[in-house]
Structure formats: structure tokens, C-alpha cells
Structure 1
Amino acid sequence: MDDHVTLSFPKMLDEIIEGLEKDQKELPSKYFYDQRGSQLFEEITELEEYYPTRTEMRIMQDNMPYIIRTVGSDIILAELGSGSSKKTRLLLDHFPSITSYIPIEISEQYLAKVVQKLNQEYPDLQIEPLCTDYSMPFQLPAIAQPYSKIVFFYPGSTIGNFQPSQAKAFLNNLSTQLDPGDGMLVGVDLKKNISVLETAYNDRQGVTASFNKNILRHINRKLDANFNLNNFRHEAFYNRDEGRIEMHLVSRTDQTVTIEKEVFHFKQGESIHTENSYKYSLADFETLVSEWFSVEKVWTDSDHYFSLQYLQKI
């Protein structure tokens, strides 16, 4: 059965057409994530080359008492892009008191499966799933029980997928749902050796390439388009000037693609820009969030590859 997301058909179509009409063709990275895309991303997190997930997990495991002390108890934990909720289980298993857990995910079918499993594992926990595009303004569900604060959990360096101006708009949207003293526990990938970065996005097994191409598969299925996935190759590289990894799909040949009644022409070597992943210094990230949040605590690994940061709404 086809999985359904909260994004309407016209909105998706409009965004796809707008992106492909640009001189540098692009597609919104959120469209990686149908059920298949979510599964592929979980496979990426297990890859030897992909350091962010295991490094962040290690940071959480090594610093859990300090994280608990910093974040506090009796919280509503709202996770943005919850996926399989693997990292969240560390919090659910160790925090003394979580009033409610709100997993927020764009793929409804994938979210439903994860929530079903969580309900079995944590029968006493109130779970309020929310299927939405969290990059746009949204509203958290109302929670009846008393709580001390709301804490957004945004692991995995996903905030790096936003361009800095988009990240600021995103942070502003989140801040409207928080009161002073509420917080955000966020994973931030740090600037490092370029070879480490590029290897992480070009794994030997080709899982990241499949994930990248899945955006075309998703568009084919939802919008009756006719992308030939074999006619595109995956490319990921570090853009030093912008401080980001860029992912592209490069056309292997001159070709034409139809989406609804719109026709798009691709020259051999022309690319579709599918994702950015910005890497920050600690000082740069603090500046990025400073209008809405103060950085209360930063935990890093010994190589300073990655950071987990607790931000407090000001």
C-alpha cells in the first residue's frame, strides 16, 4: 500500500517543478523520505564510513548523567525527524521522568510502524506521534499532564541540511512553541578533515547513492514522473567556500523527463542538487542560534568530529 505523507500533492508538485526550473536544478531533500528512503537512511547510519551516528551515540552514552542533569526531568520530549527513534531510546531508558514523547516524522507509514514498536517497549509512556513537514510551521499536540518544560530533540546533524538563512527561519519557527527556559538538544556536525567528510557520503556499498536516487523514485511514484534512475549517478563532495557537503545526481546522458505535463531537459553532466550538509565550528553555531537560544552545554567526542549541544530558549 502506498504510504501517505501530510504534504499535499499540489504542494509537492509545485516544489518539484520550481526546483527543476532553476539554472542549477535542485530538489528539496525532505523528499528522500518515503518509507524506502527512511529505511535506506537507517542503513546509512550503520555504515563504517558514516561517523555521525555512532559518534553521537557514544557522546550520549558517555555523558548521560550530565545530559540528564542539564536537561532536567518531567519534560515533554519532541523529536524532529524521529526515524527509528534509536537515539531516543537512550533518553527514554535513562531519564528519570519524561511526561510525553512526541515523535515527528514526514513518512506516515514509517512513523506508524515505529510508534507501534515503541508502544510495546514503553507501555507506560504517553506517545503522541505527529506526521508533518517540520521544516514548515507546525503545532505540537496538546499534552494534558503537568510538565516542567518542552525539549526538542534534533539529533544526527540534520540541522546542517538547512542553508544558514533557512536554519534561522527554522529556529524562529521552533522558538514560537517554546517558553523561556524550554530547550533543544541538538546534534551538530563539526568542521574537520575533508577526506573524512567526503568518505562519509560516498560509501563503498553504494547505500548513500541508493538513498540519493530514492528521491527520483519517490517523485516517480507520487507524481507519475518517468525518471530513469540508471541515467543518474550519485556525487557528493565538500564545498570549501560554503562549508558544506553537497549531494548531487548527475545526468549520465542527454535526456528528457516528464512530470505531470511538465517536460524537463537534462544535458549529459548536468546535475540536480539534492542536499546540503553544513559543518560548523562551535563559535559559528553559537552565532547562528543566538537570536533565540543560548548554548548552555556542549559535549563532543575526543576527535572533535561531532557535538551534542543543549540550547535554552531565551
Structure 2
Amino acid sequence: MSEPELIVHFTEADAARQLREDARAGLTDSPKWLSPKWFYDAAGSELFERITELPEYYQTRAEHEILRRHAVEIAELTGAATLVELGSGSSEKTRLLLEALRKTETLREFVPLDVSESALRAATTAIAVDHPELTVRGVVGDFTTELAALRAGTGRMVAFLGGTIGNLLPSERAEFLAAVRAALRPGEWLLLGTDLVKDRQRVVRAYDDARGVTAEFNRNVLRVLNRELRADFVPEDFTHVALWNTEQEWIEMRLRATRAMRVRVAELDLDVDFAEGEDLRTEVSAKFRRERVRDELEVAGFGLHRWWTDDAGDFGLSLAVAR
């Protein structure tokens, strides 16, 4: 087994700088917001793993169902020699693809990209042990900005799973998909997971579970700011809110101030005032229809080649080819 390679394009210093920039921009905007990327410190990642196991949270199970059924078909259609996974985390879902591509004997290289160096180091080591036949090359970087760092190759498939694309605003999605297309050659592939529009109450319950795990996950972002930016948020003074936006067809996660307060963010030399009942938006999670997925892919330069859903029609998996 060859040792996995780890290429660092996004250092701890880069992360600290970006957090400062994002926090200042969001906390001084009206209405206030924070980027969902800052949910995922060690505690946040553990909480999210718990969320994926909740009965209300259908997305992970639905995507697994699709991949279990169609991974071999995906491998045969693409004949991918390189699998690139964006926002890989632990790369657990991609193991289904790796096993399928092992059977077709086309895969030579696995390239996971994630902002967390520690998570990526653990994932690449585990994959290298289980797949000694592969060259494993992890890239530490932000998938929204580091696609140009992907080494040119042939026969690549980029996998962006979990419905994470829904966390991007429409203009951000367009920019991201265009960047993916620019990184690929004609005939290479994008495998994209998207949560689908469904009954509003089911979507809301998925982001506001009965056990309060999602609420704790949401409030954890304030603890990140307290630790990294020497802020003095009291997380318990904010209520978790999940709202369905009918016009945009997305869920909004917010933190709502239960009282008027002033929060000091020492690292930014910033005082932030909250009125009682004021919301801080922490995440948007868009839900899709097949037509929207197809249209957004086409604008970016992809053709929708295959479309699969789980039996319940909760989640969509698209295989698109770069034109």
C-alpha cells in the first residue's frame, strides 16, 4: 500500500482569516447571517452525524438507497479512472462508488477535497488501507474556491453528494457549477446529489427534530464564534427556528434572539446589537425539482445523462456529462 498524499491549499491561517471576514460581513449585514460552513468544528461534525441518524432526517438514507442500487451502473456508464469527491468529510458514501468502480477495474485514483485537514487525513488513510490498488491524493481546500487546484487528468468523475449544493444561494450555485465545468474536460462527469421538493411539514421536521439535536447543532455555531473570535454569545439565549420559504423552495435555519442584547466580538473589535425576536440566518437549504437541476446544469455546460430517485421520491441523484 502506498502512503496517501495530502496537498494543503487551505491552512488553519486561511480558515481563521475567512472566518473573520465571513463573521464581520454577516453580523454587520441586515438581516444578519452566518455561513453554514462554520457549523463543522469537531462538536458540530459529531452533532451532524447524529442528525443523519434521526428518523426525521431522510436525506442520508435516501441517497444511500440510490447509491446502493445504481453505483455499479454509474461505474459502467462513466468508466471513471479518477474519482474526485467534494466536501468529502469521512467519504463514507463514496465507498459504494469505490467498490463499484473496483469491480469495473477502471479506477486508478481517488481525490477527496475537504476544508478539514484532520478529517481528510483520517479519511485518506482509511481509504488507502481498504483500497491499496488506488493512488489516494487528498486536497485540503474549500470546494467553492479550490476547484482550479484539481490536477488535470482524463476520465474523471466529480461527486458532490449529500444535497450540500442546496446550501449555496442561486448565484453561488451558478458560479460553483461553472467552476466544476471549467475544471473538467468534455466527456468527463459530475455526480450530483439534490434534496427534492416535498411536503413542507416533512422538510421542516427534518430541520427541527423532536429531540432537539438540530437546534443544538445550530447553536453550536455561536460556540465556534466564542472560541475562535472571542465573542460572548450566550447560545441558550437564541431559539432554533426552521422556516420553509415557499417562493424560493428552500428551508431557512435561523437563531432567534430571546431578548435584546449586545454581543462583543473581541477579535473583530465589533459590538453587535440584537433586538428581541431578531433572527440570525445560519443556513439556507434549497430543495429541487428535476427541471431546475437539468436547467442549472445546462447553463453551466453539462448535459443531464441519468436521473435517479429513491422509492419515495425524496432525493435525486444526477449524472451529468461535461459538454
Instruction: Provide TM-score, normalisation by structure 1.
Output: 0.93
What residue number does 2:155 align with? Answer: 149
Distance in 2 (alpha carbons) for counterparts of 1:203 and 1:112? 32
Is the contact between residue 50 and residue 201 of structure 1 (CA under 8 Å) also seen in structure 2? Answer: yes
- TM-superposed deviation, 1:99: 1.5
Q: 2:293 aligns with which of 247, 261, 285?
A: 285
What residue number does 1:265 align with? Answer: 273
What residue number does 2:107 align with? Answer: 98
- TM-superposed deviation, 1:9: 2.6
- TM-superposed deviation, 1:36: 2.2
Determine if the alignment matches structure 1 residue 53 to structure 2 residue 60.
yes
Amino acid at match of 1:199: R
Distance in 1 (alpha carbons) for counterparts of 2:235 and 2:61? 30
Amino acid at match of 1:135: T
- TM-superposed deviation, 1:192: 0.8
Q: 1:299 aligns with which of 279, 304, 308?
A: 308
- Alpha-carbon deviations, 1:24-48, whole Å to 9, x = none? 1000111112222222222211111
Is the contact between residue 150 and residue 183 of structure 2 (CA under 8 Å) also seen in structure 1? Answer: no
More helix by share: 2
What residue number does 1:121 align with? Answer: 130
Is the contact between residue 237 and residue 247 of structure 1 (CA under 8 Å) also seen in structure 2? Answer: yes
Amino acid at match of 2:208: N
Amino acid at match of 2:19: M
Distance in 2 (alpha carbons) for counterparts of 1:115 and 1:221? 28
SS at match of 2:264: strand
- TM-superposed deviation, 1:57: 0.4
Q: 1:70 aligns with which of 67, 77, 81?
A: 77
Is the contact between residue 189 and residue 307 of structure 1 (CA under 8 Å) also seen in structure 2? Answer: yes
Is the contact between residue 52 and residue 189 of structure 1 (CA under 8 Å) also seen in structure 2? Answer: yes
Distance in 1 (alpha carbons) for counterparts of 2:296 and 2:244? 21
Instruction: Provide TM-score, normalisation by structure 2.
Output: 0.90
Distance in 2 (alpha carbons) for counterparts of 1:265 and 1:140? 40
Amino acid at match of 1:121: D
SS at match of 2:148: coil
Distance in 1 (alpha carbons) for counterparts of 2:111 and 2:286? 26
- TM-superposed deviation, 1:148: 4.0
Distance in 1 (alpha carbons) for counterparts of 2:159 and 2:263? 39
Distance in 1 (alpha carbons) for counterparts of 2:319 and 2:202? 26
- Alpha-carbon deviations, 1:193-248, whole Å to 9, x = none? 11111111111222211221221122222222221111112111211111101000
Distance in 2 (alpha carbons) for counterparts of 1:278 and 1:181? 28
Distance in 1 (alpha carbons) for counterparts of 2:262 and 2:119? 32
Amino acid at match of 2:309: T
Distance in 1 (alpha carbons) for counterparts of 2:15 and 2:89? 21
Is the contact between residue 15 and residue 28 of structure 1 (CA under 8 Å) also seen in structure 2? Answer: yes
- TM-superposed deviation, 1:114: 2.3
- Which portions of structure 1, spanning 4 or more consecutive aligned residues, are displaced by more than 4 angstroms? none
Is the contact between residue 310 and residue 316 of structure 2 (CA under 8 Å) also seen in structure 1? Answer: yes
Distance in 1 (alpha carbons) for counterparts of 2:63 and 2:208? 20
What residue number does 1:10 align with? Answer: 17
Q: 1:122 to 1:69 in 2, by over 3 A?
A: closer
- Alpha-carbon deviations, 1:258-283, whole Å to 9, x = none? 11210001111111101111111101
Determine if the alignment matches structure 1 residue 173 to structure 2 residue 179.
yes
Amino acid at match of 1:29: P
Is the contact between residue 6 and residue 132 of structure 1 (CA under 8 Å) also seen in structure 2? Answer: no
- TM-superposed deviation, 1:119: 2.5
What residue number does 1:24 align with? Answer: 31
Q: Identity of counterpart residues, as a percentage?
A: 34
Within a 5 Å distance, the mapping from 1:213-292 to structure 2 comes to 213-259=219-265, 260=267, 261-291=269-299, 292=301
Amino acid at match of 1:9: A
- TM-superposed deviation, 1:137: 4.1
- Alpha-carbon deviations, 1:52-108, whole Å to 9, x = none? 1100100111223322222224x2111111122111011111212321111111122
Is the contact between residue 6 and residue 133 of structure 1 (CA under 8 Å) also seen in structure 2? Answer: no
SS at match of 1:48: coil
What residue number does 1:41 align with? Answer: 48
Distance in 2 (alpha carbons) for counterparts of 1:138 and 1:6? 20
Aligned residues: 307
Is the contact between residue 27 and residue 33 of structure 2 (CA under 8 Å) also seen in structure 1? Answer: yes
SS at match of 2:136: coil
Unaligned runs of 5+ residues in structure 1 are: none
